[in-house]
Structure 1
Amino acid sequence: MRKLTVAFLLFALLACWSLDARVSSAFPGWPFSSGSSDLQPGTPDWWKKYKKKAVFVPHHGYQVEGFDGYFDADGRSIAAPALKKIKQEKGSGGLLNDVSLNSAFADVKQRVGLGPDQVRARTAFDDGEKLFREEKYGEAAKRFQETISRWPDSQLEQDALFQLAECRFFAKEYPDAVDAYDQLLAKYPNSPHLDRTIVREFDIARFWEKHHAFAPHWPVTPNLIDDKRPLFDTLGRAIKIYENIRLNDPTGPLADDAVMATANSYFLRGRYGDADYHYQLLRNEYPRSEHQYEAHMLGLQCKLHIYQGPDYDGVPLEEAKAIIKQLRMQFAGQLDAEQRDRLAKLGGQITREQAARHMHMGSHFENTGYNRSAKYYYAQVVRENPDGEIAAAARARLEALAEAPDEPEPPLKSIIDMLPENAERNSIAQVPLINKGSDLQVPGLVPGVLRDSEVGVASRTEPVTDEDGPTYQR
Structure 2
Amino acid sequence: MPCFRPLLSAFTAAALLTAGGCAALKMPAPRLPGTGDPQAPVGTTDWWKANKKKAVFEPGKGHQVAGVDGYFDDQGRPINAKVQKVVAKTDEGAGLLGDTGLKERVAGLKEQVGLGPDQTQAQKDFDEAEELFRREEYSDAAKLYKSAYKAWPDSQIEQDAMFKQAEALFYASNYSKATNAYEALIRKYPNSPHLDKVITRQFAIARYWEQYHNYNPNWLTTPNFIDRTRPLFDTIGRSMKNYENIRLNDPTGPLADDAIMAMGNSYFLRGRYGDADMQYELLRKEYPRSDHQYDAHILGLQCKLRKYQGPSYDGTPLEESQVLVKQLKVQFSGQLDGEQRERLAEVDGMLKKELATRDYQMAEHFDGIEEYGSARIYYARVMKEYPQTPLAEQSKVRLAEIGGEPDRPTSMIEPVLNLLPENSERTKMATVPLIEPNASPTAPVRTEIMTASGQQPAGGEGGGSNDPTIRR
Structure 2 length normalisation: TM-score? 0.70
Aligned CA distance change for structure 1 residues 88 and 135 (closer, same or farther; 3 Å): farther
Q: Which residue of 2 aligns with 1:179?
A: 180
Post-superposition offset of 1:416? 2.5
Whichever residue aligns with residue 319 of structure 2, its letter is E
Aligned equivalents of 1:296, 1:178: Cα separation in 2: 32
8 A Cα contact 1:89 1:100, kept in partner:
no
Alpha-carbon distance in 1 for matches of 2:436, 2:372? 24
1:344 partnered with 2:345: yes
Over residues 351-401 of structure 1, what are the superposed CA-to-partner deviations in whole Å (9 max), with x where a residue is unaligned?
Answer: 110011111110111112211111111112122332432222212211221
Give distance in 1, aligned partners of 2:91 and 2:126: 29
Aligned AA (1:413): E
Which residue of 2 is the match for residue 428 of structure 1?
Answer: 432
Query: Which amino acid is the alignment partner of residue 231 of structure 1?
Result: L
Whichever residue aligns with residue 365 of structure 1, its letter is F
Distance 1:427 1:219 in 2: 69
Distance 1:208 1:155, change over 3 A: same
1:232 is matched with which residue? Answer: 233
Aligned to 1:98: 99
Corresponding residue number in structure 2 for 1:305: 306
* Map of 1:251 onto structure 2: 252
Q: 1:107-154: per-residue Cα shift (whole Å, max 9, x none)?
A: 232233221111111111111111111101111111111111111011
Change in CA separation of 1:411 and 1:263 when aligned onto 2, cut-off 3 Å: farther
Q: Single out whichever of 422-431 and 227-236 deviates more from structure 2.
A: 422-431
Shift of 1:425: 4.6
CA distance in 2 between counterparts of 1:89 and 1:129 reads 44
Match of 1:274 in 2: 275
Residue 97 (structure 1) shift: 4.9
Change (3 A) 1:432 1:394: farther
Q: Per-residue deviation at 1:290?
A: 0.7
CA offset at residue 433 of structure 1? 12
Cα distance change of structure 1 residues 95 and 118 upon mapping to structure 2, 3 Å threshold = farther
Which region of structure 1 is more displaced relative to structure 2, 248-257 or 404-413? Answer: 404-413
Q: Counterpart in 2 of 1:111?
A: 112
When residues 395 and 433 of structure 1 are mapped into structure 2, their CA distance, relative to the original with a 3 A threshold, is: farther
Q: Who is 1:54 aligned against?
A: none
Spell out, residue by residue over 1:296-318, the C-alpha distance to the aligned partner (whole angstroms, 9 max, x if none).
Answer: 01111111111111112212111
Q: What is the one-letter code of the residue matched to 2:124?
A: T
State the match for 1:156 in structure 2: 157
Q: Secondary structure at the match of 1:313?
A: coil
Report the residue type matching 1:177 in the other structure. Answer: A
Q: Give aligned pairs, total.
A: 349
Q: Which residue identity does 1:338 align to in structure 2?
A: E
Structure 1 stretch displaced more, 420-429 or 140-149: 420-429
1:259-307 CA distances to partner (integer Å, 9 max, x unpaired)? 1111111111111111111111000000011110111011111111111
| Contact preservation (8 Å) 1:307, 1:313 | yes
Label 1:384 to 1:140 Cα distance change in 2 as closer, same or farther (>3 A): same
Computing the radius of gyration from Cα coordinates, the structure with the larger value is 2
Supply the distance in 2 between the matched residues of 1:150 and 1:89 (Cα, whole angstroms).
Answer: 31
Match in the other structure for 1:456: none
TM alignment of 1:348-387, pairs within 5 A: 348-387=349-388
Deviations 1:189-240 (A, max 9, x none): 0000000000000000000011011110010111111111111100011111
Compared with structure 1, are the counterparts of its residues 234 and 103 closer, same or farther at alpha carbon in structure 2 (3 Å cutoff)?
same
- Percent identity between the two aligned chains: 53
Match of 1:147 in 2: 148
Name the amino acid aligned to 1:233: D
SS at match of 2:328: helix
| Structure-2 separation of matches of 1:247 and 1:411 | 65
Cα distance, 1:410–1:425 mapped onto 2, change above 3 Å: farther
Structure 2 distance, partners of 1:253, 1:147, is 32
- Give the 4+ runs in structure 1 shifted more than 4 A: 92-97, 429-434
Does the C-alpha gap of structure 1 residues 96 and 143 become closer, same or farther in structure 2, counting only changes over 3 Å?
farther
Query: Structure 1 residues 89, 384: closer, same or farther in 2, change over 3 A?
Result: closer
What's the counterpart of residue 325 of structure 1?
326
RMSD: 2.5
Q: Which amino acid aligns with 1:374?
A: A
Gaps of 5+ in 1: 1-85, 435-474
Aligned equivalents of 1:366, 1:303: Cα separation in 2: 30
Please give the secondary structure, in 1, of the residue aligned with 2:224.
Answer: coil
2:400 alignment partner in structure 1 = 399
| Counterparts of residues 3-42 of structure 1 (less than 5 Å) | none
Where 1:333 maps in the other structure, the secondary structure is helix
CA distance, structure 2, for counterparts of residue 180 and residue 93 of structure 1: 30
Q: Measure, in 1, the Cα distance between the counterparts of 2:175 and 2:295.
A: 30
Q: Quick one: structure 1 residues 402 and 89, their matched pair in 2 at CA, closer, same or farther if it must change by over 3 Å?
A: closer
Partner residue, 1:124? 125
Gaps of 5+ in 2: 1-87, 439-472
Question: Secondary structure, in 3 states, of the residue corresponding to 1:231?
Answer: coil
Per the alignment, do residues 335 and 208 of structure 1 end up closer, same or farther by CA in structure 2, a change over 3 Å counting? same
Superposed CA offset, 1:6-46 (max 9, x none):
xxxxxxxxxxxxxxxxxxxxxxxxxxxxxxxxxxxxxxxxx
Change over 3 Å in CA distance of 1:423–1:138 after alignment to 2: closer
Q: 1:96, CA displacement in angstroms?
A: 4.5
Give the AA of the match of 2:153.
P
Equivalent AA in structure 2 for residue 163 of structure 1:
K
